Structure 1
Amino acid sequence: MITEKLLESYQAARKKYNKGETIFEEGNFPAHYYQIVSGEVKMCNFNDDGKEFVQGFFHDGQSFGEPPLFLERVYPANAIAVTDCEILLVPKTAFLSLIRENAQVSLAIIENLAQRLHYKSVMAAEISSQEPEHRLLKLMDYSITFFKIEKGKDGHRIDLTRQQMADLTGLRVETVIRAIKSMEKKGEIQIIGRKVYR
């Protein structure tokens, strides 16, 4: 989202994380702005029984964990590397200076946070009341818009695993698999090489 060159001019450091490694923990105070160079990160919580609830997945070029930087509050979730990752970290004070001194970057951050808030509002309504197929279609359609997925000859490729779809919709993996098969039969999606196309 923010160019690497600009981040590096504000004290950004590159750090590598291994798959499964915790980047920051729920309850910690934020000290950095994080932007992914390569890899995938998830934000998640665990309940008292150890059950995981995934807040979202983040990919190359995306940032994560910004709200607490502005609110002077602790992280409400953990950030964990889903794959091996390389991430740019900018110290909090340097990042706030970057925002103050670059109006276009500030607007881009606001737009990004607004998109995430809108996504959470939409999905919260879907999860509370809609059938599995409807939830999954809404997730796919929102992903196409949010990630600006370009349409290929077979449609929009949804780069989410069945497990990730389950995590993001509050469904069981088995339910997701059944729903995807049903949607394919109805012609609402295509399955090509185990990948879903909308």
Structure 2
Amino acid sequence: MVIPEDLLFQHGAVVKTYSENEIIFSEGSFAKNYFQIQEGTVKISNTFDDGKELVHGFPFNGHCFGESYLFTDTPFGMDATALTACTIISLTKSHFINLVKNKPGILLDVNRYTAERLHFRYLVSSFLAISDPMVKIQRLLDHLKNYFDYTEPYSFQVPYTRYQLASLTGLRVETFIRVIKKMQALELLKIESSKIYY
């Protein structure tokens, strides 16, 4: 987790529950709270007028989201939606700022997490310049496997659905499925009981 839960509660945090597909905050609104996921998965995305969606990530248990906006007066540039039923620790902006002032080491932890997420965004953004869908998928799976600290072949069970992985790579689901079947034939990954092992 980014910030110890007991420290958040000591500074006035509360737990909020969100049902699947419930909006946590919308693009254009302003940051009023620090959010840290206790349980569940959140989708960070933009939805365009034509219905297309650009997914930036799927933070889950222990992760925070939208935290960088607490340090600016800029409105959110994305939506946050509960992908699954979620319990989320929420701390008001003023209490969060007080926490950071009282315990400046917390700011290092938050900045480290934000930097890791920015690295992931840069990686995913680089997919726009890659035309080969297999290379896109391999780069994403390499990053995820490394993030979760797995090294052996087929040791990493990918914790995302095909739709979620396709969204992160900018591929259509049909293309993603076709490519992972090809990758399985090339023994780059395994598929067992619909689970992807990389």
Contact 2:36 2:64 survives alignment (8 Å):
yes
Trace 1:28-47 onto structure 2 (pairs within 5 A): 28-47=29-48
Task: State the 1:153 CA deviation.
Answer: 8.3
CA offset digits 1:28-55 (Å, max 9, x no partner): 0110000000011001111111221111
User: Hey, what's the Cα distance between the residues in 1 that align with 2:134 and 2:152?
Assistant: 23
Kindly indicate whether residue 17 of structure 2 is the aligned counterpart of residue 24 of structure 1: no
- Deviating more after overlay: 170-179 vs 46-55: 46-55
Task: State the 1:100 CA deviation.
Answer: 2.1
How many residue pairs were aligned? 197
Kindly indicate whether residue 180 of structure 2 is the aligned counterpart of residue 188 of structure 1: no
Contact 1:151 1:157 survives alignment (8 Å):
no
User: Hey, what's the Cα distance between the residues in 2 that align with 1:156 and 1:10?
Assistant: 37
- Deviating more after overlay: 125-134 vs 152-161: 152-161
Contact 2:130 2:136 survives alignment (8 Å):
no
Task: State the 1:191 CA deviation.
Answer: 1.0
What is the aligned partner in structure 1 of residue 167 from structure 2? 167
Task: State the 1:152 CA deviation.
Answer: 7.3
Task: State the 1:149 CA deviation.
Answer: 4.3
Contact 1:149 1:157 survives alignment (8 Å):
no
User: Hey, what's the Cα distance between the residues in 2 that align with 1:61 and 1:137?
Assistant: 26
- Deviating more after overlay: 76-85 vs 125-134: 125-134
- Unpaired runs of 5+ residues, structure 2, are none
User: Hey, what's the Cα distance between the residues in 2 that align with 1:109 and 1:180?
Assistant: 35
Task: Flag the 1:171–1:192 CA change in 2: closer, same or farther, 3 A.
Answer: same
Contact 1:189 1:196 survives alignment (8 Å):
yes
CA offset digits 1:58-107 (Å, max 9, x no partner): 10110001111112210101110011100000000111121222233211
Contact 1:132 1:179 survives alignment (8 Å):
yes
CA offset digits 1:140-193 (Å, max 9, x no partner): 1111233x2446784111111000011101100000000100111111111122
Task: Name the TM-score, length of structure 2 as normaliser.
Answer: 0.94
Question: RMSD of the alignment, in Å?
Answer: 1.5
What is the aligned partner in structure 2 of residue 58 from structure 1? 59
What is the aligned partner in structure 2 of residue 156 from structure 1? 156
- Unpaired runs of 5+ residues, structure 1, are none
User: Hey, what's the Cα distance between the residues in 2 that align with 1:152 and 1:122?
Assistant: 22
What is the aligned partner in structure 2 of residue 95 from structure 1? 96
3-state DSSP of counterpart to 1:19: coil
